[in-house]
Structure 1
Amino acid sequence: MAPTIASVDKLAAWLDTQELGTGAPLESRYISGGSQNEIYELRRGDLHCAMRIPPMTAPADRDNGIVREWRIIEALDGTDVPHTEAIAVCTDPSVLGRTFYLMGFVDGWSPMDTLGKWPPPFDTDVRERRGLAYQLVEGAALLSKVDWRAKGLQDLGRPDGFHERQVDRWTGFLERIKGRELPGFDEAAAWLRTHRPIDYIPGIMHGDYQFANVMFRHGAPARLAAIVDWEMGTVGDPKLDLGWVMQSWPEDTNSGAGSVGDYVDMTGMPSRSEVLKHYADVSGRQVDDIDYYCVLAQWKLAVILEQGYQRANGDPKLEAFGPVILDLMRGAAELAEESDYQR
Structure 2
Amino acid sequence: MTHIDQPKDVRSGEELDTDALRTWLDQEVPELSGDIAVKQFPSGHSNLTYMLQVDGKEVVLRRPPFGAEKIAKGHDMSREYTILSHLDGVFDKIPDPIAYCDDAEVIGAPFYLMERVEGVILRGAKPKVDGLDEQTMRGLSEAFVDTLAEVHAIDLEAAGLEDFGKPEGYVERQVTGWIGRYKRAQTDEIPAMDRAGEWLEANMPAEVGASIIHNDFKYDNLVLDPDDLTKVRAILDWEMATVGDPLMDLGTSLAYWVEPDDPDVIKAMSFGPTVMPGNFTRRELVDRYAEKSGLPVDDIVFYFVYGLYKVAVIGQQIYFRFKEGDTDDPRFAMLIHAVKALGDVAQKAIDEGKIEGLG
Classify the TM-score, shorter chain. Answer: 0.7 to 0.9
Show the counterpart of 1:320: 334
- Equivalent positions of 1:328-339 (< 5 A) are 328-339=342-353
Contact 2:99 2:114 in 1 (8 A): yes
Q: Distance in 2 between matches of 1:272 and 1:115?
A: 16
Range with bigger deviation, 93-102 or 301-310: 93-102
Q: Distance in 2 between matches of 1:72 and 1:260?
A: 33
Q: Aligned match of 2:37 in 17, 20, 28?
A: 28
Show the counterpart of 2:102: 91
SS in 1 for 2:212: strand
Contact 1:254 1:267 in 2 (8 A): no
Q: Aligned match of 1:207 in 202, 215, 223?
A: 215
Q: Distance in 1 between matches of 2:74 and 2:339?
A: 29
Q: 1:191 to 1:13 in 2, by over 3 A?
A: closer
Letter in 2 for 1:39: T
Show the counterpart of 2:6: none
Show the counterpart of 1:191: 199
Show the counterpart of 1:142: 150
Show the counterpart of 2:51: 41
Range with bigger deviation, 270-279 or 48-57: 48-57
User: What's the CA shift for 1:340?
Assistant: 7.5
Q: Deviation per CA, 1:258-300: give whole Å up to 9, x if none.
A: 7682342432213333322332333332323222210111122
Show the counterpart of 1:69: 80
Q: Aligned match of 1:169 in 156, 177, 180?
A: 177
User: What's the CA shift for 1:106?
Assistant: 1.1
Show the counterpart of 2:308: 298
Contact 2:20 2:106 in 1 (8 A): no
Contact 1:35 1:57 in 2 (8 A): no
Show the counterpart of 1:7: 18
- TM-score normalized by the length of structure 1: 0.81
Contact 1:27 1:44 in 2 (8 A): yes
Q: Distance in 2 between matches of 1:289 and 1:222?
A: 29
Show the counterpart of 1:243: 251
Q: Distance in 2 between matches of 1:46 and 1:62?
A: 36
Q: 1:256 to 1:164 in 2, by over 3 A?
A: closer
Letter in 1 for 2:244: G
Q: Deviation per CA, 1:281-331: give whole Å up to 9, x if none.
A: 333323232222101111222233223334433854223122221221111
Q: 1:261 to 1:64 in 2, by over 3 A?
A: closer
The answer to whether 1:111 aligns with 2:135 is: no
- Equivalent positions of 1:273-312 (< 5 A) are 273-312=283-322
Q: Aligned match of 1:219 in 227, 233, 236?
A: 227
Q: Distance in 1 between matches of 2:221 and 2:59?
A: 18
SS in 2 for 1:224: strand
Stretches of structure 2 lacking an aligned partner (at least 5 in a row): 1-8
The answer to whether 1:228 aligns with 2:239 is: no
SS in 2 for 1:312: helix
Q: Distance in 2 between matches of 1:161 and 1:295?
A: 18
Q: 1:63 to 1:284 in 2, by over 3 A?
A: closer
Q: 1:289 to 1:64 in 2, by over 3 A?
A: closer
Q: Distance in 1 between matches of 2:121 and 2:99?
A: 24
Range with bigger deviation, 183-192 or 140-149: 183-192
Q: 1:58 to 1:182 in 2, by over 3 A?
A: closer
Contact 1:177 1:310 in 2 (8 A): yes
User: What's the CA shift for 1:72?
Assistant: 0.9
Stretches of structure 1 lacking an aligned partner (at least 5 in a row): none
Counting aligned pairs with the same residue, the percent is 30
User: What's the CA shift for 1:156?
Assistant: 4.2
Q: Distance in 2 between matches of 1:248 and 1:92?
A: 34
Q: Distance in 1 between matches of 2:192 and 2:102?
A: 43
Instruction: Count residues in correspondence.
Output: 334
Q: Distance in 2 between matches of 1:208 and 1:280?
A: 19
Contact 2:68 2:321 in 1 (8 A): no
Q: Deviation per CA, 1:36-58: give whole Å up to 9, x if none.
A: 64333234457432122346765
Q: 1:155 to 1:259 in 2, by over 3 A?
A: farther
Q: 1:19 to 1:282 in 2, by over 3 A?
A: farther
User: What's the CA shift for 1:95?
Assistant: 5.1
SS in 2 for 1:297: helix
SS in 2 for 1:39: strand
Q: 1:47 to 1:183 in 2, by over 3 A?
A: same
SS in 1 for 2:98: strand
